[in-house]
Homo-oligomer: A and B are copies of this chain.
């Protein structure tokens, strides 16, 4: 999770919503990414999507069945759906996203997605740190752009 937080911090420095994601297979880091929707102006470029795409390219397969993923925030519907589509084995996430999170909060997309695939998940890891990053980011935006 520390690596995912580092990725989120990179996002913060680039004025992106600070969310980071890391994919690990057999104890080895396969991909790291942070949110780049502002820089790219592409709506799909959340940290999780970027990390999954990099991992697929690196492994040469759309199936990441042995992968574990660390994310600083509970994934949205798009990212939870991508995690399920990529058949990722397990997800660890930091802060809960009560309004739109699709692991535990809004819809249980990781565990019930109609795909006969269930991704295990554990939320609340380094929760305070992950949450503080986002709070500080939005606070700084409010000061800069009142």
| Interface residue ranges, A against B (CB under 8 Å) | 37-38, 40-46, 49, 52-53, 56-57, 60-64, 76-82, 84-87, 97, 99-102, 106-107, 109, 112-115
> In the assembled complex, which residues on chain B have CB atoms less than 8 Å from the CB atom of A57?
42
Expressed in whole angstroms, the Cα–Cα distance for A42 and B101 within the complex equals 23
> In the assembled complex, which residues on chain B have CB atoms less than 8 Å from the CB atom of A52?
42-44
How many of these chains are in the complex?
Answer: 2
Of the listed residues A44, A53, A84, A102, the one surrounded by the most CB atoms of chain B closer than 10 A to its CB is A44
Known: A38-B62, A106-B112. 9 other contacts (CB 8 A): A42-B52, A43-B52, A43-B64, A44-B49, A46-B85, A77-B84, A77-B113, A78-B82, A99-B114
